[in-house]
Structure 1
């Protein structure tokens, strides 16, 4: 039996903040398990949120400078967390923050320099988990399915509702996964119009009504017609979705209500397409799992054949950080952590780059 003490760092497309999750990951024969020990979420300041959101417009030298300063900031947060709780850490596994994701152009970029993070924190760091897969012709996303396979294989389908919605499942003995489409990214974009970080529990959305014209426009996005493997990033959202939201003259409540119906319709379509049993379970994590109205609407659209399973809040919020900790462990052990059946790459890979503190 082997045990690894890892600090996982995750910053997602919903731009709500940095998740730190200290966990023990154990391999007993061929079975992997985890135990969450300590967690912390750090909300981004308004300035940091704006910088991250607008980073796709930076010139190359400005972006690289931000890459370094953000890496230093990540290192400072990790060091403080480790020091405050007096943690024993084998290494840090960091996702970074995706600024550019264009797999069709052969590029993906997550800022948060591993060397700066390592130097500032004083710990070994494994990061840059996506680049190798894209270099192998893959989408570089989604990556969480390796965790679904090794940690949550008891569920027929796993759904993550972060900034983007993605689904993961076993098909003909292989794990497949892909980005379905929108989730919190559109909801948070709408609430920020009234200086609200997010719609707690979906209360505003629940009081709205469907704007049919907006729903038709969202449902008609070309991305939904593409076959998997496929993935989307913030650029797609800015180019394809923001104009639809901005052109719709309606209340915030109706914009949110319509967006949730769109999200749930698209998720339900994919779940029904991939369900092979009369009764199946859908394991839901990510910030969207805390949106009561979204979960109720999703269950309604799925009907009785699929049971929506929402775990405890800690796992909802920190699942991705746990999975990136696992990916770091697999990289250190030289085991596969990115699946070609998910990303469409030429081969499975053990991805991630190791940085040692100077």
Structure 2
């Protein structure tokens, strides 16, 4: 569809549990090219109780409690959308909600993002599209990542688009197809150990910078079989809790050394991908909360040999919410949002379920 224009709000809640990101943007397509302008963006903190339930509490709920929480969290999202629209005087054509991932086991065709789209629509009184991943899962795909379609169509000037949140994921063009996958856990692990010590996160990576890398733990982390897999692959909380936390905890490291070692591991895995792809003089756009981790970015730049671009603070913090808004635009335009070359699904597909008042 050409000569198309739409205003969309994207909602993103990541595994690092930093809070809810909301971004409103206007998208237009002319002469086959998509363009965007951000109209407004902001974050909303999660109350401690909600943060706990989204983090680990939901997995322990009964079926009845879980369904009730699905509606409750959807209502919470709808209230934030209503607040956002009032604050900025915006009335979007569509709201696109990622929800919050509770279960991610694509090999079993299990994927669930909590946050009922119907509850969002009822509370905010605007059309909502949600549940973007389920169709891809049923088509044999990973249901993730979804951001690469936005990287391809909105950020095509960079060889690599790296997002660093709870997990790092990367996308790039290879032989005319978009390739993308999760690389490793990052903030999900770093923030987990920071919270154990009463910190939200390691600002600028200063604690990690002060520590020493533990060679034995680093070698064990780097040797995990996931990193040798090729093709479509994705990570979730379950894998981290089974593979990463026990490995780290068994070493009994000092806090700074733990953060330093895992930061080095995360940077090495990014560099491993970049070197394998082998693009000459590569450029890399880094977004997500990890782009603000100065030490981590330094290690990536040095190990990967990339020209690294850190965009505006707004793009750093809200790129995923922006791209979810874009997924809403693609849904309304009737264009694919899930790329089979990325997810491993049987075919490209238009994920999502529409709730319209």
Which category of TM-score, normalised to the shorter sequence, fits these structures? Answer: over 0.9
- Residue 13 of structure 1 is matched in structure 2 by 15
CA distance in 1, matches of 2:99, 2:36: 22
SS in 1 for 2:258: helix
Task: Confirm or deny that 1:258 pairs with 2:255.
Answer: no
Instruction: Work out the CA distance in 2 between the residues paired with 1:12 and 1:321.
Output: 10
Spell out, residue by residue over 1:62-117, the C-alpha distance to the aligned partner (whole angstroms, 9 max, x if none).
22221111000000111011112211211111100000011000111000000001
Q: 1:149 aligns with which of 149, 152, 159?
A: 152
Give the 5 Å matches for 1:282-301: 282-301=284-303
Residue deviations 1:133-172 (CA, integer Å, cap 9, x gap): 0011100000000000000111111111111111101111
Matching of residue 108 in structure 1 with residue 99 in structure 2: no
Matched with 1:39 is: 41
Distance in 2 (CA, whole Å) between partners of 1:152 and 1:322 is 12
* Equivalence for 1:314: 314
For 1:319 and 1:353, how far apart are their aligned partners in 2?
Answer: 22
Q: Find the counterpart in structure 1 of residue 88 from structure 2.
A: 85
Partner residue, 1:117 = 120
Aligned residue in 1 for 2:194? 191
How far apart in 2 are the matches of 1:149 and 1:255?
A: 36
| 1:285 Cα offset (Å) | 0.7
CA distance in 2, matches of 1:96, 1:110: 5
* Structure 1 residue 317: Cα displacement: 0.6
Q: Name which of structure 1's ranges 211-220 and 65-74 shifts more when overlaid on structure 2.
A: 211-220
Give the root-mean-square deviation of aligned CA atoms: 1.1
Which one of the candidate residues 192, 199, 203 is aligned to 1:200?
203
Q: What is the aligned counterpart of 2:54 among 52, 55, 61?
A: 52
- Give the stretch that moved more between structures: 17-26 or 60-69: 60-69
> Which one of the candidate residues 95, 102, 110 is aligned to 1:99?
102
SS at match of 2:162: strand
Per-residue deviation, 1:243: 1.2
What's the counterpart of residue 348 of structure 1? 348
Which digits, 9 at most, give the CA deviation of each residue in 1:249-296, with x for residues without a partner? 12211111111000000110001111332x110111111011000001
How far 1:213 sits from its partner (Å)?
Answer: 2.3
Distance in 2 between the 1:153 and 1:290 partners?
22
The CA deviation string for residues 114-136 of structure 1, in whole angstroms up to 9 with x for no partner, is 00010011110011100000011
1:204-215 matches, within 5 Å, as 204-215=207-218
The alignment status of 1:4 with 2:3, answered yes or no, reads no
Q: Give, in whole Å, the separation in 2 of the partners of 1:244 and 1:70.
A: 33
Q: How big is the shift at 1:204?
A: 1.0
- Between 1:249-258 and 1:126-135, the stretch displaced more is 249-258
Q: Give the stretch that moved more between structures: 310-319 or 240-249.
A: 240-249
3-state secondary structure, aligned to 2:331 = helix
**Alignment length, in residue pairs?**
354
**Mean Cα deviation higher: 96-105 or 197-206:** 197-206
Please identify runs of 4+ aligned residues in structure 1 that moved more than 6 A. none
Q: Which runs of 5+ in 1 are unaligned?
A: none
Q: CA deviation at 1:56?
A: 2.5
Matched, 1:173 2:164: no
Alpha-carbon distance in structure 1 between the residues aligned to 2:152 and 2:223: 32
